[in-house]
Amino acid sequence: MTTALGLLTRRALARRILALALPVVAANVSQTLMGLVDTLMVGQLGAASLAAVGVATLLFSAIASTLKALDVPAQTLTAMRVGSGRDGEVGAVLGTAGAVTIMLGAGVTALGLWRPEDWMGLVARDAEVHRLGGEYLHWRVMGAIPFMLTFQLRAVYDGIGWTRVGMAVGIGMNVVNVLLNWVLIFGRIGVPALGVEGAAMASSLASLLAVAAFLAVMMRPHVRHRFRFLSLDNWRPALLGPMFRMAWPAGVQVLGALMAVLVFFAILGRISTVAVAAGNVVFRIAALSFMPGIGVGVAVQTLVGQCLGGGDPRGAVRVGWGGVSLSVLLMGAFSVLFLLIPGRLMGLFATDPELIRAGTPILRMMGLVQIFDAVGLTLAGALKGAGATRAVMVTDVSTAWLLFLPGAWFFGIHLDLGLNGAWIGVLVWFFVYAGGITWLYVRGDWHRWVPETVPEAS
C-alpha cells in the first residue's frame, strides 16, 4: 500500500493526503476554536484576566508540551511498523510512551502546584496579571497527565492512519470544554462563578474525558487484538533509547519556541498590558490559520513514515511536495482574510476598542507570512516522519532566539515602535524558518535515512 505512493498520479496522491489530513485539520481547528472561545469568555472578565490566561497558558504549555514530545516518535514508529506490516508491535510503542508520559506528567503536576504564582512572576510584571495567572496555573496543572496522554494516544492513531479517531475525540473534547467554561467561568446551573480558575478546571476535565474516549476505542476487540494494546509485555525498555533520540529534539524545539514566545510576551509587557492582551488574541486567531498546515504536516509525517517503513523513498519525497501544494492552497485563504478584514476578525474576540485597534495591524501582518508558514509546517512534518527531528529543532530554535527575539526588542523597544515594531520579529522568524526547512528538505539526505529507530521486537 505504501509502495504504491511512489507511483500514484498527483491527483490520487493529493486525495490520499487529504483523506488523512482533513480529520486532523478538523480536530485541530476545533481545538483552536476552543482556545478562541476561552479567549472570548475570559475576555469578558477584563484585559487583566485575558493577559493572565494567555501568559499562564504559555507557561503550562512550555512545560507540558515539551515533556509530551514522545508523541513524535510514537507517531513515526507506529507508522513505520504499520508500513512494514508489523501491526502487533504498535501496542508496545504506546505502552512504553504512555508509561513514561504518566511519570513525566506527575512531575509537571507537582512542579506546578508548588507556588504557581512564582512561575507567573517570571513573566508577568502587572500585579493583577500575576495573581490571576497563579490561580489559573494551580488548576491547570491538575490536568497535566491527561493533557499529555491525549497527545500520545492521538499520535498512535494518526500513525496507524486512523486520523478520524483523533478528530472525533478532539471535537467532542472541545465541545465539552466550551460547556464547562460556560458553567464554571460565569457560574451557571447553581455552580459559583470561578472566573479564570473555572477556565483552567474546564480544560483539565475536558482532557480527562478525551483520554477516556481514546481508551474506549482501544478496548474494541478487533482493535486491541490487532495492535496488541493489552499485551502484558508492552513495556519495552529497548524502545526507550530510540524514542528519546527522536523525542528530545522535538521537546527542545517546543520548549525553545514556547520560551521564546514567553520572552516575547515579556517584551510586550514592557510596552503595555494592552499590547500583551492584543498579542494573545492575535496569536489565538493566527493559530486557527496554522491548522491546515499542521494537519497536512501530520498526514505527511504518517505517510513518509509508512513509505520509509515499506521501502518506498520515492513515495516519501512525493508526499512532501504534494502536501506543500495543499497547505499553500488552504492557508492562502486565511492570508486573504487577515489582509482584508483584520479589524472585523479582532472584533469577534475582543470588545475593548483600544485592544481591537492595537491588534488590527499586527493581524494584517500575519497575513503576509501564511504561504511561507504553510511550506515550513508541511516539510517539517515530512522530516519528522523520517526521524530527522534534530535538524527541524535546530532550525526552529536558532531562528527564534537569534532573529525573532532580538528583532522584537530592537524594533519594539529600542526604536520605540511599540507593538507593531515588536511584531516585525515574528515575521522574520516565520520567513527564515520556512526557508531553512525547505533547504533541509531539498538537500535530500533525510529520505535515505537508515531506520535505526525501528528495532525489531524482542
How many domains is the chain partitioned into structurally? Answer: 1
Res 57: pLDDT: 77
- Kindly state whether residue 379 falls inside one of the protein's structural domains: yes
- Kindly state whether residue 427 falls inside one of the protein's structural domains: yes
CA–CA separation, 378 vs 387, rounded Å? 15
- Enumerate residues 6+ apart whose C-beta is below 8 A from 145: 101, 102, 105, 106, 108, 109
Residue-level pLDDT, tens digit, the chain, 458 residues: 444 565 567 777 778 888 888 888 887 777 666 666 766 777 777 777 777 777 777 778 777 877 888 888 898 899 888 888 888 999 999 999 999 999 998 888 887 777 766 666 666 666 777 777 778 888 888 888 999 999 999 999 998 989 899 889 988 888 888 889 888 888 888 888 888 888 888 888 999 999 999 999 999 999 999 999 988 889 999 899 888 888 888 888 888 887 898 899 889 988 888 888 888 888 878 888 888 888 899 889 888 888 887 777 788 888 888 899 889 998 999 999 999 998 888 888 777 888 888 889 999 999 988 999 999 999 999 998 888 888 899 999 999 999 999 999 999 999 989 899 999 999 999 999 999 999 999 886 765 544 444 444 33
User: What is the extent of the structural domain holding 285?
Assistant: 3-448
Res 166: pLDDT: 87
Res 452: pLDDT: 42
CA–CA separation, 359 vs 350, rounded Å? 10
CA–CA separation, 260 vs 263, rounded Å? 5
- Kindly state whether residue 406 falls inside one of the protein's structural domains: yes
Residue pair 281/111 in contact by the 8 Å Cβ criterion: no
- Kindly state whether residue 24 falls inside one of the protein's structural domains: yes
- Kindly state whether residue 454 falls inside one of the protein's structural domains: no
End-to-end CA distance of the chain: 26
Residue pair 310/84 in contact by the 8 Å Cβ criterion: yes
Res 435: pLDDT: 94
Half-sphere exposure of 62 (CA within 13 A, CB side): 21
Global pTM reads 0.76
For the record, the C-alpha cell of 282 comes out as: 492575535
Total Cβ atoms within 10 A of residue 218: 18
Residue pair 129/55 in contact by the 8 Å Cβ criterion: yes
- Kindly state whether residue 146 falls inside one of the protein's structural domains: yes
- Kindly state whether residue 456 falls inside one of the protein's structural domains: no
User: Following DSSP, what letter does each residue of 26-94 receive, concatenated?
Assistant: HHHHHHHHHHHHHHHHHHTT-HHHHHHHHHHHHHHHHHHHHHTTTHHHHHHHHHHHHHTT-GGGHHHHH
Residue pair 55/140 in contact by the 8 Å Cβ criterion: no
- Kindly state whether residue 457 falls inside one of the protein's structural domains: no
The Cα-based distances of 119 to 36, 52, 67, 123, 425 in angstroms read 24, 12, 17, 8, 25
> Position 48: which residue type?
A
